[in-house]
Amino acid sequence: MILKNRVAIVTGAGSGIGQAGAMIMAKEGAHVAVADRSAPGAAETVSMIRDAGGSAESLILDVTDDISLEDGIASVLKRHGRIDILHNHAGAQIAGDLEQVEVEGFDRSWSLNVRAHFMAARFVMPAMKAQGSGVILNTSSSSGVLYDREMIAYTTTKHAVIAMTRQMAGDYARFGIRVNAVCPGWVDTPFNGPFITQMGGRDAIEAYVREKVPMGRWAQVEEIAESILFLVSDRSSYMTGQILVVDGGEAVV
């Protein structure tokens, strides 16, 4: 098991990609703190991990609440004595172009998609520096490298995550800490609800994916989880500041 004895925190792990990432880390031997604001969602992920023979605990918090986030991370550190992996995954998709998007929605998107990543990394960094190792993985999106129609809040934040990832990587490599980002493309989860509504329903989004993605289909969460595992494990030990786009080829056309 390539993550044996490592302690991981995964935010937004109560469903979708976050859940799949938490599960594959646990399968490979990590103890996973499943962080989510939904207690039922976190409990489901923990139950799935334990049923598969893995080790996990729930960490119920709102990542946009600095005090809750800091206390939650500190509690994991106190219980386990180290934090080896932080996967900043919690995020939100806010629809609308420059004139349509609600300013409140833009601010909420920034707080969740960028600032929460920044704060969680800030809170784990002292422990990682003290132990001389650590991996931070930030979830961006193919929207962080592409134009995404009428999604200015989402694309702005996801581009920002990439810049932040590269900056963190450059600043902390000398401490043995690696920082990378994963950019999923179209993954079939409820997360896409706002864009599906904006596009005019499920049939419209299916047609869009067939047209825009060279592979002609959605990704499954398990496919993104494999890329997550690569980036948080020693399989990517000489990679930092890198942006791994997993989008069925959309970014190349």
Q: Which of 147, 154, 172, 208 is catalytic?
A: 154
The rounded distance, in Å, linking the Cα atoms of 139 and 117 is 9
Half-sphere exposure of 67 (CA within 13 A, CB side): 0
Q: Which residues pair with 183 in a beta bridge?
A: 245
Q: What angle do CA 3, 4, 7 make, to 5 degrees?
A: 75
The rounded distance, in Å, linking the Cα atoms of 148 and 124 is 32
Which element (helix H / strand E) includes 57? strand 55-60
154 as an active site residue: the answer is yes
The rounded distance, in Å, linking the Cα atoms of 220 and 162 is 23
CA 53 vs CA 4, 27, 30, 44, 221: distances in Å: 13, 8, 11, 14, 20
SS3 44: helix
The rounded distance, in Å, linking the Cα atoms of 38 and 251 is 33
> Which candidate, 87, 139, 106, places its Cα nearest to that of 245?
139
Q: Write phi, then psi, for 213 (nearest 5 degrees).
A: -100, 115
> Which candidate, 147, 169, 170, places its Cα nearest to that of 158?
147
* Residues involved in catalysis: 154
